[in-house]
Amino acid sequence: MRVMMAMSGGVDSSVAAALLVEAGHDVTGVTMKLWGGASDQGCCSVADVDDARRVAQQLDIQHLVFNFGDDFMTHVVDPYVEAHAAGATPNPCIECNRHLKFDRLVRRADALGFDAIATGHHARVVEGADGARRIARGADTAKDQSYVLHMLGPDVLDRVLLPVGIMTKEAVRAHAGRLGLRTATKPDSQDVCFITATGGRRTFLGERIELHPGRLVDTTGAEVGRVDAVELVTIGQRKGLGLAGDAEPRYAVAVDAQASVVTVGTAADLLDDAVVVGDLAWSGAAPEPGRHVLAQTSAHGLARCVVLEASSEPRTILARWADGPQRRVAPGQSVAFYDSDVVLGGGIVR
């Protein structure tokens, strides 16, 4: 089988490529050039492209580089900036998977006649009783990446391979070591690739939008302080609000970017009975209202039981916490819904 292997320059995609070669597939490694600006972390640096190329040489497979910079700006960077300007907290890695790795790259693979596309994600593709293929949690629960793939449907999953999903991270590194791959001990990327460690969000956003100072008010509307950039505040934030000396910790519980107002409150004020999730994408038939499922609101967060309730808005659902109020989820973040370890779908918090 002809397989296009997405190689980020990390150990997971390196070992995934090696496993496919060992299994006898005709493998071509590809690296997407997404970000042309400064990068000192994540998976977009020149060093990462070089690591991917050298691993491909070690495995004796062809390596190609595709320049998808325009798509990356349109679908990831620009929406990231716009979301912060509106007071939301986006998840650019999910949008990169949605629009680049599993759309743009899949379409390129189809155009070039590949039978399948593979990545180094720690997740599995499983087939249900209905014959539909869905994403499921990877074998290594500490490294599971099914949350960031929750939007993938059967049309894409019919030709997606995730070779390291059945392995622990320790086993991946051990296999890379046995093969002598240069990425065997390379640290995992942790942060947004286009946000530099030296400049951070403030520098990145400040170069693209005007950052506005704003008022901090309590839940009664009384002013209790000031913040120098409303666009940098996210729901649940405590540090950087200038309220560290208060007798009781206070957190950002609401952000109104248009009015330049951040509302702060106690931990109890952060609790919500439910979360409204829009832009829904299901991997199969949408679950019926009243169904109990698991909801995960961050990449490595704890999945909690919710009851799904119908909404009058299209592609929107209300997920009510079954065990009582939970910490508020920031608008712009993603929620993935599970049946045990199998992803049902997900969407974005309104």
Q: CB within 8 A of 67, min separation 6: which ones?
A: 33
The phi-psi region of residue 33 (left if phi > 0; otherwise alpha if psi is between -120 and 50; otherwise beta) is: beta
* The pLDDT of residue 40 is above 60: no
CATH number of the domain at 212-268, please? 2.30.30.280
Beta bridge mates, 347: 335
Average of per-residue pLDDT across 7-24: 97
Mean pLDDT of 5-34: 97
Angle at 69 (CA atoms; ends 297, 161), nearest 5 degrees: 55
Structure tokens at 205: 């956003």
CA 173 to centroid of chain Cα atoms: 23
2-121+162-179: CATH class: alpha beta
Residue 99's SS3 state is helix
pLDDT in tens, 75-124: 999 999 999 999 999 999 999 999 999 999 999 999 999 999 999 999 99
CATH class of 271-349: mainly beta
What's the pLDDT score for residue 8? Answer: 94
Q: What is the pLDDT of residues 55-78, one digit of tens each?
A: 999 999 999 999 999 999 999 999
- Selection from 138, 307, 331, 180 nearest residue 252 by Cα: 331
Give me the active site residues, please. 96, 193
* Per-residue model confidence (pLDDT) at position 199: 86
DSSP 3-state assignment of 30? strand
Residue whose tokens read 């990327």: 189
Task: Please provide residue 193's backbone torsions phi and psi, each rounded to the nearest 5 degrees.
Answer: -65, -30
DSSP, collapsed to helix, strand or coil, labels residue 8 as coil
What does the pLDDT average to over 10-29? 98
> Does residue 131 register a pLDDT over 90?
no
The structure tokens listed for 329 are 């989820």
What pLDDT shows up at residue 44?
59
pLDDT in tens, 154-173: 999 999 999 999 999 999 99
pLDDT at 343 over 60: yes
pLDDT given at position 32: 96
Non-local (6+) Cβ contacts of 289 within 8 A are: 308, 309, 310, 317
**All structural domains of the chain with their residue ranges:** 2-121+162-179, 212-268, 271-349
